[in-house]
Each structure stands twice: as C-alpha cells, then as structure tokens.
Structure 1
Amino acid sequence: MAAALRVAVLPGSGRALLRTPKTITTPKAKMSFASLPRGQKAALTALGVAGAGAAGLALALQCSVKASDLELHPPNYPWSHAGLLSSLDHASVRRGYQVYKQVCSACHSMEYLAFRNLVGVSHTEEEAKALAEDVEVVDGPDDTGEMFTRPGKLSDYFPKPYANPEAARAANNGALPPDLSYIINARHGGEDYVFSLLTGYCEPPAGVEVREGLYYNPYFVGQAIGMAPPIYNEILEYEDGTPATMSQVAKDVCTFLRWASEPEHDQRKRMGLKVLMGSAIVVPLLYYMKRHRWAVLKSRKIAYRPPK
C-alpha cells in the first residue's frame, strides 16, 4: 500500500519540498506447527509422547505406594435405613446401645451424647433415668469446697473410660481409642466401614508379619490395628432375646452409631417427605397462575386512540 506524499512549500521559495514517506513494517506471520519441516514435527511429537508417558508413569508409581490403597474397601450393605424415606430401626438402636455399654465403653468414649438423648429414641424416660443413676458422677465443690459423687442425671453425658488421653494411650499400648460420637460420619464408608472392620479380623496371609500387640484387619489402613477383636458370637445376651451372633451385634452397634452421628436422621427424612407433598400441591398452582393468568397480562397489547 503506497504511502501518501506530503508537499510543503517553504516561505519565500517557489520550490516544493517532498517529504520522504514513512516506512510501514508489517508483522511477521506467527510460526505454526503445520508450517514446520517434517523432521521437526517428528521430533516434537516424540518429545510430547515421551513427556506424557513419563508423567503417567510417575502418577502410577505415586498412587501405587499410597497408604490408602493398603486396605480393602468395604462393600455396600443393604441397610434398612439407607432409603430416601427409610427410618432407623429403633429396636436395633436399643440393642446397639447395649453393645456399646457392655463392650465398647470399656475403651471408647461418647462425650457428645447425654442420657437425655436416649429418651423417645431407644428408651423411655424412666429407663433413661435408671441408666443414668447407675453411673457415679463427680460433682462439686460443695459448701465446704470438697468434691463429691452423686448418682447421674438425664442431663449428664456418657461417662468416659479414661480420665485423659494420656491415660488412654498408656492403657492401650500407645494407641488412642477414638471417640465414637461421630465415628460414622468421620470415616469414609460410614457404617459399611465400621461393620466390615468389626467383622473383618482374620489371620494374615502368607508372607505378611504383624508386630506383636497388633492384629491383622484388611479394612484398616495399613492392615494392622491395635484393637483386639471386640465382638464374637454370643458375646452378650440381648434383653429382647435376639440371637447375639457376630453379624447381628455388629449390625446393631453400627445402627446405634449412625443414630449417634445423626440424631436428626428420621426427622430430616420426615421433613423432606412433607416438602415433597407440599411441592406437589404448590408447583401445579404456580404453573397455572404463570401460564394462564400472569402470561395473559404480560402479553396483552394496549392501543390508545387519539382524541377527536
């Protein structure tokens, strides 16, 4: 594209001075992969394939040594409360509390659960009061400044098996038993994991050695757990006469722990059902108002006649 010439006339002179046009530089075209020679294309392709392969190999090696893979993932069990509108089996919750009281409470605490939480769920108010009164609670100080013991009340929380974490570690070879108040929500897999852990103790396979004081469990991270097998057939006798097999005991305590982790389980699903029933009435009414009432007003055309 030719540049325009500018003509300037000097004062007092009849000659015209031609100004030299400025040089216009056009940017060079960007180099693309398609414009490269065949040899460079092959070299870059090989380099990309090698880089992708190295990255994939590094990722595979990193995942192969992750501690999370040194465990067996629990299967999905058909829990009766797993449905969208299914409630907890409260008879199983009651039996699960019996399992916790007679078996689990020797090592594990539930410091976020009080005796009053059992009322209307697994026990009556009188039964919960009787359970609380069986516990001696340290209270005080009294008028003389001394601590004293008293029978438990509904407002008291479940007693702890150890006074502090250090005492718990000393009694369990350095391992700290976790609190069970929210253990179902705190573990991946929920009650499936806890059930599999309780029933998954077995002999280690050939070539696997377990250190003294530990027990082999394929569902535990690292497969070596410091907790001895806590349940077995006929470990206790249920009040309602249900056979206390290992699977039944594990199922009941998992149902109890699910309720402890989520006390609003039944209420939440009941509220969800009410919302669905209310929506079935409100949504068609709103659709009718929008489609047949409001749409007519929004789409009407108003014409104004000029005055005569």
Structure 2
Amino acid sequence: MVGSNKGLTGRYIIAFALLTVMVFPYLYMVLSSFADWSQVDKQIIPTKFTLRSYEWLFLGGEAAMPRPWLRAFFNSLIVSAGSTALMMITGAMVAYALAKMNFKGRDFINNAVLFQMFFPAIILLIPTFLIVQNVGMYDTYMAMILPKALSLWAVFMYTNFFRAIPDTFIEAAKLDGGSNFQILIRIVLPMSKSITTVIFLFLFMERWTELLWDMIVVRSDEMLTLNVLLSQMFGPYGGYPGPLYAASVVLTIPIIILFLFFSKQFKEGMQFTLK
C-alpha cells in the first residue's frame, strides 16, 4: 500500500514537472508583457508591473514609426475567419460527395486528395502567387483568403466521419424528397458537431498563425496581419522586448478563447479521430 502511494506521488511529481516545462514559456511571456521595461528579460519573475508595453502597442509604437496594431489584429480576424469558413464549407461539400455519393472517378479523386496531402505546400507557392498577381488580387483580403479556400485535411477528416454515418439516414431523407445539399445541411452536419469543432479549431489556428503567404501577398501597412507585423518588429523594434511579448500575448488570445469555449466538443471530436 505504501509502495503504491509512493509510485502515485512520483507520477504526480513527474506530471507536474512536465506541465511546468510546457506552461512556463507562455507564463514567462505573459509576465514579461506586463513587466516594467527595466526588468524585461533581466528577471525570470518580474517584481514591477506596468501596462506600458500594451499602451505602446495599441497606441501605434513610436511617433516616428507608427504601426497599425489594432488594424493588423482585425485584419487577422477577417482573414482567418473568412478562410476558415470557406475551408469548412468546401471541405464538407467535397467530403459528402466522396463519402455518400456514387459517381465515376470517386476513388481516383479520393486517392488524389490523399496524395496531395503529402505534397509540400511551398511547391505551389510561386505559381499561386503569380496567379494572384495576374488576376489583380495582390495586396487585398481576397489574396489572403481565396488561395486558402480549400483544406485537403478538412476533406479527409470530414470524409472519414461522414462514412461512419449510416446510409439509412441518407436514404430516408431522399425518399422524403431531400436534395443532397439539404441532407448535408440538415442531417449530416448536425450529426457531425464534434468533428466540426476539431476541424474548425485546427483550421482557424493554422490560418491565424500563417506568416509566409501573408508576407508575400501584402505590401501596404493597412493590409498587414498581426503575424506579419509582429515579424517586422524584430528589425526596427528589436530594442522593445516588452511590446514584443505583449504582441505575442495578443496573438494567442483568440486561440485560447476558442479552445475554452469549444473544449467539450473538441474532446469528443478528438476521441473519434483517435479511434
């Protein structure tokens, strides 16, 4: 009995140590964002706290070189929300066709989706950029949203989940006169809330943290996303570590809020993906 208690205590200690290692970098970032500038990166745990870094950030930085932080934050929200919505819509529609509709070439398309998932995305970077430039979308929201309108990973996840839905539901709905689109919207997607939450969170997080593509297709300060603006800080604003930490904290806030809000559905969806 004593031995088992010691073993349990040891597991708790190891788990706590691992959790500390994982959480401490983020905790350090948050503390440093509120720390007095004289203590940033000079003390592991600051003793003096201030809102100066956030004031500096949201008021635009130095007057000699102002930066549109709030505008960049809302740009990131617009681009991430728009891209995620399109990826989920197209992913669900393509997945429904692959999972529940019989047509010539379905297996070929399904294999093509799997094959394309192993393609490094950077291979298509230059051709996609040239297309965006030639059609006149450069330095616009559309340049950041439309090329990200389809996620093969979302197609793959939705396809596997839709296949698990009994065909009897689909056949009954067709007998009642429902079209494929109506069946998808009214029957299939309401039964797929858990996996939809997982797909939504991963897609939004991936798009929210996108840097390379936004950096390529954006030129003006008014169209910058928060990631691009944050990356630019390491140059002229390298001497301001406090605002750097503050910007990094702001960048993580939407992801944390979404995860906390959808945590229950996320756990249910992850249980399906791990089966």
Shorter chain as denominator, the TM-score bin is under 0.3
Comparing both structures, which one devotes a greater share of its residues to strand?
1
TM-score by length of 1: 0.22
